[in-house]
Structure 1
Amino acid sequence: MVLLGSLANALGIAAGTLIGLCLTRIPARIKETVMVAIGLSVSILGITMALKAEDFFFVIVSLIGGAVLGELFSLEEKLHQAGRFLERKMGKSKSGNIAEGFVTATLIFVIGAMAIVGALDSGLRGDHSVLLTKSMIDGFTSAVLASTLGIGVLFSAIPVFFYEGSIALLAGLIHASIEEKLLESLIAQLTGTGGVMILAIGLNMLEIKAIRVANLLPALPFMILIVWLQHSLF
């Protein structure tokens, strides 16, 4: 089953969220310190990912182009609108800001090499080991996030499933169209670009700087274009 890994990842997030919601009544001081710990961990993860880029100059270029496009289309606001739509459907939430939890968790779980590589493995070889590993990591992360951000984290399982599932279903076409060397370079550069965004999420969680991370998402297709042009021309 091609979508087994994607489904397991979504279910892992859902299960982790439900566990985390049982921990929402912990004292505010503990929640605050836990959030700082998560923010620091996410920031370090982002730095580690960013350092995997083959050429950081192109990471900067893609982020600038992505930021301009993202601001023009107000992607951050559209994601928050989706979160607020969920809030209206569920009524007043006592377990955190649904929009904030949805946006933060979606960005953390979608951005990164494991989602791409794992989905490709699922689609090409029927090997779900990477996504199954990711489901355990995301399950633990979602439990911690849900304990502070609330039930909004649960809904991030939906875009994660569709994102990874789409890559898995298109894996054969991707493999046939992109040679191995180009694909490796693409994954490295996307990981570096995604790492900067993960770092931005960490800074948001630490309340150091309010960054509209979703407005940086167009940097990813920008990077794909840059890597393709570089490979084609040079």
Structure 2
Amino acid sequence: MTMPIGPFVNGSAVLLGGLLGAFMGVKLPERVRASLNPLFGLTSAGLGVMAIPGVKYYAAVVLASVLGLAIGEWLYLEKGINKGAGKLRGVVDKIFPPVQGLSPDEFVEKFVAILVLFCASGTGVFGSMNEGMTGDPSILYIKTILDFFTAGIFAITLGYAVSAIAIPQLAIQLTLFFLATLIVPLTTAEMRADFAACGGLIMLATGLRIMGIKSFPVANMLPGLILVMPISHLWATYIAN
């Protein structure tokens, strides 16, 4: 079995980008940091829009998203993540200078959104699975470049806590890497395309949330990523044909 390289490179980029962005952020005027938020949201929404057009069975993606949201609401996923984000901020503020200009509610709102953006992207999930199956980390290398700059930009506003996202991101990618030999042979190109589209919807919702246009329960939408490939397969087998 090959050893994982991409997940560690990707996690290091988030860690370093967050540290550099937070260091630079304290040197920027408040008006500059505040004006960056719409750009963050627009970037996330753009990534989502790019991922959706490749969808094969959009009805299956919608069904998975609806059922996933229902499960997330039932399990109170977002509430749990909010509590975790608040505790994380307390720990980080004891080590590094606290973030200025953000209320606890504003911090949690934005932190949860970017947590989903970094940890639940279709590129990261499939990139980890692909490396585990083929030994090729190139997809995660591309994500690494994007994540380095994205973490830096978000950390300008949210501070050093952004660097801590590297921990759950690494854990998720390593888990997928080692499970890849079981998962990837069971998937098809169409299933992976629908998975990417489902992730694109979540990233689009994340962008709208960051911009303050609509506060989607992004974390509660995550179970849809687990459901979408099985539903896509069932749709292709029993309905589309």
Q: Which residue of 2 aligns with 1:104?
A: 113
Shift of 1:143: 0.2
Residues 152-209 of structure 1, C-alpha deviation per residue, up to 9 Å, x if partnerless? 2112111111111111112222244x1xxx4311211111111111111111111111
Which amino acid in 1 is paired with 2:194? Q
User: Quick one: which amino acid aligns to residue 128 of structure 1?
Assistant: P
Displacement after TM superposition at 1:144 (Å): 0.3
Q: CA deviation at 1:219?
A: 1.1
| Pair 1:88-2:90 in alignment | yes
Deviation string 1:82-120 (CA, Å, 9 cap, x unpaired) is 112223334466225564454222211122332133212
The answer as to whether partners of 1:70 and 1:216 remain within 8 angstroms in 2 is yes
Asked if 1:131 corresponds to 2:140, the answer is: yes
Unaligned residue ranges in structure 2 (runs of 5+): none
Quick one: distance in 2 between partners of 1:62 and 1:19?
A: 38
Partner residue of 2:154 out of 140, 145, 148? 145
**Once the two structures are aligned, what percentage of the paired residues are identical?**
27
Q: In the alignment, does 2:222 pair up with 1:221?
A: no
User: CA deviation digits over 1:120-173, x for unaligned, max 9?
Assistant: 232122221221221121011000010012222112111111111111112222
Residue 16 of structure 1 aligns with an amino acid whose one-letter code is G
Amino acid at match of 1:27: P
On the 8 A contact 1:53/1:191 being kept in 2, the answer is: yes
- The answer to whether structure 1 residue 197 and structure 2 residue 211 are counterparts is no
In structure 2, what is the Cα distance between the partners aligned to 1:82 and 1:215? 15
Residue-by-residue CA offset, 1:9-53 (whole Å, 9 max, x unaligned): 111100000110112221122112211112112112212212221
Q: Does 2:21 correspond to 1:12?
A: no
User: Partner of 1:48 in structure 2?
Assistant: 50
TM-score by length of 2: 0.87
Q: Give the whole-Å Cα distance in 2 for the aligned partners of 1:120 and 1:90.
A: 31
- SS of 1:84's equivalent in the other structure is helix
Gaps of 5+ in 1: none
Aligned residues: 230
Which residue identity is paired with 2:45?
S
In 1: Cα distance, 2:129 partner to 2:197 partner? 19
Verify the 8 A CA contact 1:114 1:130 in the aligned structure 2. Answer: yes
Within 1, Cα distance between the matches of 2:180 and 2:65?
Answer: 26
Q: Which moved more, 1:209-218 or 1:95-104?
A: 95-104
Measure, in 1, the Cα distance between the counterparts of 2:79 and 2:192.
Answer: 28
For the residues of structure 2 that align with 1:174 and 1:222, how far apart are their CA atoms?
13
Question: Is residue 83–residue 100 contact of structure 1 (8 Å, CA) maintained in 2?
Answer: no
SS at match of 1:210: coil
Q: Tell me the equivalent position of 2:36.
A: 34
Distance apart, 1:222 and its partner CA:
2.0
Q: 1:37 to 1:91 in 2, by over 3 A?
A: closer
How large is the Cα RMSD of the aligned pairs?
A: 1.9
Contact 1:102 1:156 in 2 (8 A): no
User: Residue 168 of structure 2 is aligned with which of 159, 162, 165?
Assistant: 159
